[in-house]
Structure 1
Amino acid sequence: MAILNDTKARLVAKGYTQKDGIDYEETFSPVSKKDSLRIIMALVAHYDLELHQMDVKTAFLNGNLDEEVFMDQPEGFMVEGKEHMVCKLKRSIYGLKQASRQCYLKFNDTITSFGFKENIVDRCIYLKISGSKFIVLVLYVDDILLATIDFGLLCQTKEFLSKNFEMKDMGEASYVIKIEIFRDRAHGLLGLSQKAYINKVLEKFKMDKCSSSVVPIQKGDKFNLMQCPKNELERNQMETIPYASIVGSLLYAQTCTRPDISFAVGMLGRYQSNPGMDHWKAAKKVSRYLQGTKDYMLTYKRSDHLEVIGYSYSDFFGCVDTRKSTFGYLFLLAEGAISWKSANSLLSLHPLWKLNL
């Protein structure tokens, strides 16, 4: 029998009742790019940096509000004799449309006051240089990664963060945004794996016991709009199939650690608005490929020469629906993939044109 060890409660505002221009203005809040994360992981492996993780507890409660926001007193906690009155929020709380943005702004102001500089390309990557020492901070909502060669600077940063926010020190980083981090510092190796995430995806779609596939997509496989439902019966059949959900799950794995399914997932994404049974079978094939390769991980290792190596390729109007070319690229650092993409070109090409690559 399960034993309840801890209970939690959270007051959440009814953000859906907020009015634009009155209760909030901007809501955008940046998060670190996956490319940035992988670049830093490659540098951690190459330079044998310390890599630690911290978590901001109840992060959205840290933001200051720029607007006057009022809310009803929560049921069961009304002040006796003042039931007709409302609460004026002094700070942001969960549920507010601007909560994430205000949390980011508060963190940004705080960390830059400690000498960190915001990266001009990725606003959630910060760098602090102290003499010959440096420390890099990666922010992903409430998850923080710290990479440095100096343990003293690491401790100073942790102490500063703990004084300004309620923090949880996770020690050496091992799991962040559904990515497992493995290190073999003696051999200069760092690996990023999503085996646990893939297992959950397979279980969610009842494919955890499925046989594996050796490839995510077969050479010569073609998908087009002619494979989409053509009548009401076919459309009704597809309504019960979670196509968009499985493509979204595959997309997250592809975005984080699996460039090998980038082309296949990109093809599947083109038909999300009206998928057919052939598209569904193709999505399951990609899932079966992950079943057989879930132990794969992105690996970075220390080398004699740290350099970026890039590859690119494009077909010639390969999409039969739009006559657009499909292009792709892959960049490596520390002998591991840091950036990749497979997508349709923005331009449609006439079949009589010739393309020299």
Structure 2
Amino acid sequence: MPLVPLTSTRPDSSHKASRKSTASTTLKLFAPVAKLSSIRLILAIAARNGWDIQSFDFNSAYLNSTLDDDEVIYLEQPPDFAEKDPKNYVLRLRKALYGLKQGGRKWYEHLCIALADLGFNRAESDYGVFFAIDANNITVLAIHVDDCAITGSSTPLISEYKRRIGEKYPLTDLGEVSWLLGIKVARDREARTLSLSQHAYIDSILARFNFTDLKPSSIPMDPNLQLTKSQCPTSLADIARMRKIPYREAIGSLMYAAVGTRPDISFAISTLAQFSQNPGWTHWEAVKRVFRYLLGTKNLVLQYGGVQRGLEGYVDADGASQEHRHAITGYVFLVDGGAVSWSSKKQELVTLSTTEAEYVAATHAAKEAMWIRRLLGEVFRPLDGPTTLYSDSQSAIALTKDGQYHARTKHIDIRYHFIRYVVEAGTLRLIYCPTNDMTADTLTKALPSPKVKHFARALGLVTD
């Protein structure tokens, strides 16, 4: 039993007050997990090298961690299981429980110690990724709370590490990875390809909102429809009508697909999420269109492999076509033809020109490129040459090399000139790409059906 009865009576109020003040200043609650970008990157590299990828779950993970002596937490005795007078005796918690604020953090700390004892190093670029190097072999472990994926250059070594981890904590060995965080993983070893899909998840959210009978759509968002705040309800009748619509729940459900395996809906979701506070019927119809698009394209899978193109990125900005006048930054990084990291976000400032918007977007993409390079260099090996970043703005590319447009760009904040130092250091290489081939274009605006299909394929989305 993780609960130990106290030998004395219930602590007095002064003790509880002092404990509360101490907890507010020293208690750590954040528990790192492996980023989805890191997991996709590791899976793509494993597919390229033909490595085995296995998975396992820890059983009752939180119960494996113990609280420190200075973490004094008391519980009332369960009504039907009181060992002594419940009015005079309480139980002191010795182990972390599910639902405890610091439960996830305590489990992570204990797991880090256990993995360090086994020879694993924690990646500084992602605290949810661990790796161990034995002679010429490498083993990589990605942890998301209690769900784990392990891969490496030696299959016997993978099995050995799983056995040794199992000696420390009870776990369920799931063998060759097939599902990870609700994402289906499929492999073709001969072609050295790996695909990720969320068929089951998409089916579940379609059924949840009773959208299984909708007519499929070929685009996630209508390029001829401008969504604005003027479409938000103002009358009491319209507001009451929209209260019955599960707008926020639908956006939240779609968001996991957008960050998991479907970058083609990222722009639509980021745009529709801006109206969550007071959505109108037009916004709800736009959400339904995203569901209709997923209904018609749920068989698309995010595929890595087939071609060895290494790490490359695309970045774009749409200017100021939105009502809020902020440009939209869109970037995507691909490994072997499949997207591993992408983003579609509103820029934090109002830019004064297309060049400035593209320049700011390139700076954000450069930060992501540096993080990916650092993760690759730390876990696997450093990249030999610069990473290629494609942009469809020749003026923005020129601005990264010198200040020849000083009269028009002298107001740009110095932090956005960070990309100049990255380019000068040889970490990044910006190359012009025509707009028709700019993969990140689908992350910045709504497009017609032919372009949606073209860029979905460019992102690595293929039919299963």
Common fold, TM-score beyond 0.5? Answer: yes
How far apart, in 1, do the equivalents of 2:355 and 2:38 lie?
A: 38
Per the alignment, do residues 40 and 351 of structure 1 end up closer, same or farther by CA in structure 2, a change over 3 Å counting? closer
After TM superposition, the structure 1 = structure 2 runs for residues 2-21 of structure 1, keeping only pairs within 5 Å, are 19=20, 21=22
Deviation (angstroms), 1:339: 0.7
The AA in structure 2 aligned to 1:243 is Y
* Higher mean C-alpha deviation, range 19-28 or range 126-135: 19-28
**1:210 aligned residue:** 214
**1:53 aligned residue:** 55
Deviation (angstroms), 1:315: 1.3
Per the alignment, do residues 82 and 335 of structure 1 end up closer, same or farther by CA in structure 2, a change over 3 Å counting? same
Per the alignment, do residues 316 and 107 of structure 1 end up closer, same or farther by CA in structure 2, a change over 3 Å counting? same
Determine whether 1:337 maps to 2:357. no
Structure 1 gap ranges (5+): 1-9, 12-17
After TM superposition, the structure 1 = structure 2 runs for residues 91-240 of structure 1, keeping only pairs within 5 Å, are 91-240=95-244
How far apart, in 2, do the equivalents of 1:95 and 1:351 lie?
A: 49
Is the 8 Å Cα contact of residues 124 and 140 (structure 1) preserved in structure 2? yes
Is the 8 Å Cα contact of residues 323 and 350 (structure 1) preserved in structure 2? no
Per the alignment, do residues 134 and 239 of structure 1 end up closer, same or farther by CA in structure 2, a change over 3 Å counting? same
The AA in structure 2 aligned to 1:111 is L
Alignment equivalent of 2:281, drawn from 272, 277, 282: 277
How far apart, in 1, do the equivalents of 2:43 and 2:188 lie?
A: 13
**1:247 aligned residue:** 251
**2:370 aligned residue:** none
Per the alignment, do residues 216 and 352 of structure 1 end up closer, same or farther by CA in structure 2, a change over 3 Å counting? closer
How far apart, in 2, do the equivalents of 1:22 and 1:300 lie?
A: 46
How far apart, in 2, do the equivalents of 1:127 and 1:302 lie?
A: 26
Deviation (angstroms), 1:91: 1.4
Per the alignment, do residues 266 and 352 of structure 1 end up closer, same or farther by CA in structure 2, a change over 3 Å counting? closer
How far apart, in 1, do the equivalents of 2:208 and 2:316 lie?
A: 34
**2:441 aligned residue:** none
Q: TM-score normalised to the size of structure 2?
A: 0.70
Deviation (angstroms), 1:221: 2.4
Is the 8 Å Cα contact of residues 70 and 88 (structure 1) preserved in structure 2? yes
Per the alignment, do residues 81 and 328 of structure 1 end up closer, same or farther by CA in structure 2, a change over 3 Å counting? closer
How far apart, in 2, do the equivalents of 1:56 and 1:159 lie?
A: 13
The AA in structure 2 aligned to 1:266 is S
Q: In structure 1, the residue corresponding to 2:124 is in which secondary structure?
A: coil
Deviation (angstroms), 1:311: 0.8
| Aligned positions, number | 340
Is the 8 Å Cα contact of residues 76 and 86 (structure 2) preserved in structure 1? no
Alignment equivalent of 1:293, drawn from 297, 319, 334: 297
Deviation (angstroms), 1:84: 3.0
Alignment equivalent of 2:320, drawn from 312, 317, 321: 317
Give per-residue Cα distances to partners, 1:210-236, cap 9 Å, x unaligned.
Answer: 210000012232111111112211111
**Which of structures 1 and 2 has the larger relative contact order (alpha carbons within 8 angstroms, sep 6+)?**
1
Whichever of the two has the greater Rg, that structure is: 2
Fraction of identical pairs, as percent: 33
Structure 2 gap ranges (5+): 4-18, 358-394, 397-464
Is the 8 Å Cα contact of residues 181 and 192 (structure 1) preserved in structure 2? yes
The AA in structure 2 aligned to 1:149 is S
**2:260 aligned residue:** 256
Deviation (angstroms), 1:82: 6.7
Is the 8 Å Cα contact of residues 218 and 296 (structure 2) preserved in structure 1? yes
How far apart, in 1, do the equivalents of 2:50 and 2:355 lie?
A: 50
The AA in structure 1 aligned to 2:54 is H
* Higher mean C-alpha deviation, range 85-94 or range 96-105: 85-94
Deviation (angstroms), 1:26: 1.5
The AA in structure 2 aligned to 1:186 is E
Per the alignment, do residues 351 and 135 of structure 1 end up closer, same or farther by CA in structure 2, a change over 3 Å counting? closer
Is the 8 Å Cα contact of residues 47 and 302 (structure 1) preserved in structure 2? no
The AA in structure 1 aligned to 2:50 is D
Is the 8 Å Cα contact of residues 39 and 142 (structure 2) preserved in structure 1? yes
How far apart, in 2, do the equivalents of 1:327 and 1:267 lie?
A: 12
Is the 8 Å Cα contact of residues 45 and 302 (structure 1) preserved in structure 2? no
1 or 2, which has the higher helix percentage?
A: 2
* Higher mean C-alpha deviation, range 192-201 or range 229-238: 229-238
Deviation (angstroms), 1:354: 7.5
How far apart, in 2, do the equivalents of 1:297 and 1:353 lie?
A: 34
